[in-house]
Amino acid sequence: MIVIDGSYGEGGGQILRTAIALSVITEKPVKIVKIRANRPNPGLRPQHLHGILALKELSGASVKGAQVGSTVLEFIPRKAEPRHVRVPIKTAGSITLVLQALLPAMAFTGGSFEITGGTDVPWSPPVDYLKNVTLYALGRIGIEAELEIRRRGHYPKGGGLVVGRIEPWGERKPLNAIEWGKVERFAGVSHATNLPAHVAERQAKAARERLEELYSVPVEIETEVSRSLGPGSGIVLWAETDSLRLGGDALGKRGKPAEVVGREAADELLDQLTGGKAVDRFLGDQLIPFLAFAGGEIGVTEITSHLVTNVWVVEQFLGKIFEVEGEIGEPGIVRVVRRVEV
């Protein structure tokens, strides 16, 4: 049984998500100890349990310690099979963080999913980012996945609904994306839920104006107005380059003008474009589990602690795979030196 120190490096829920996904892929039992030991509220939180339970369903695993507050978890998978996985998060727990656990494992089995919870919540990737930036990059390595946002869910009530499917990963194509040379267009989605339509329109207008100050390329931002359990707004932007897509996003909140939300997302995206690396700081760590099997090398706008921690977790299962050039907080390159066959 592989033993993982849950307090290593960044020490958050990502260690759990990656370790359990790799346990399912490799069919190796795993024990995670000292879960979130350095956090103010140590142990498993409700949002972590949903990813674990989704992977339990996918693989028919036996699990010990899957309860809130637990600092030790044992996960013993059986052979994973294609399934329709339902994950009913009854709060605004992040749907995208569940998918960070589910997608790497489901790439090897295929299947479909239906997840309720938070689509656009603090401290996690918005669902439009996952759909338009992450899945775009995964498509380059041969993963075919679809995702549909049926309903938005914001903090604190949640109520969002996301459905999708993923085909079994066929040809594993290496990803070689060091730098971009040209921005071809900007695109995005500006949404307002249980709020006036002008909120989405003002977010989009402010973002468009900021991007047009620096780039003379098309800017195509959709606006979406919807109903759900509670109010909320946000905007996700991405730059379509001659390599991959880089993203930026911002969430609205009471008292924060829509124009500020739009400019905040645009400034974040423009910051990711500085320096010319092909992979933004949010995508880099998400790609690590997939690159182990696809191969290649990527240039990241920032080597984050999340990325370094994810490399460490993957290598606990699969041995030395990556070379990381650069320091945390700086731009760098991640290179696969040994591609894994499963």
Catalytic residues: 306
Write the single-letter amino acid at 300: V
Residue with tokens 């052979």: 79
pTM, entire model? 0.96
Q: Which segments are annotated as binding site? A: 100, 282-286
User: Domains (ranges, CATH) in the chain?
Assistant: 1-80 (3.30.110), 82-171 (3.65.10.20), 180-273 (3.30.360.20), 291-342 (no CATH)
CB 104 within 8 A of CB 342: no
Q: pLDDT tens across 241-288, in order?
A: 999 999 999 999 999 999 999 999 999 999 999 999 999 999 999 999
Q: pLDDT tens across 314-327, in order?
A: 999 999 999 999 99
Q: Which segments are annotated as binding site for ATP? A: 100, 282-286
Answer yes or no: is pLDDT of 41 > 90: no
What pLDDT score was predicted for residue 220?
A: 98
**CA-to-CA distance for 241 and 107, rounded, in angstroms?**
26
Closest among 67, 72, 58, 71 to 30, alpha carbons compared = 72
Residue with tokens 């989009």: 204
Q: pLDDT tens across 42-89, in order?
A: 999 888 899 999 999 999 999 999 999 999 999 999 999 999 999 999
CB 126 within 8 A of CB 190: no
Q: pLDDT tens across 102-116, in order?
A: 999 999 999 999 999
What pLDDT score was predicted for residue 155?
A: 96
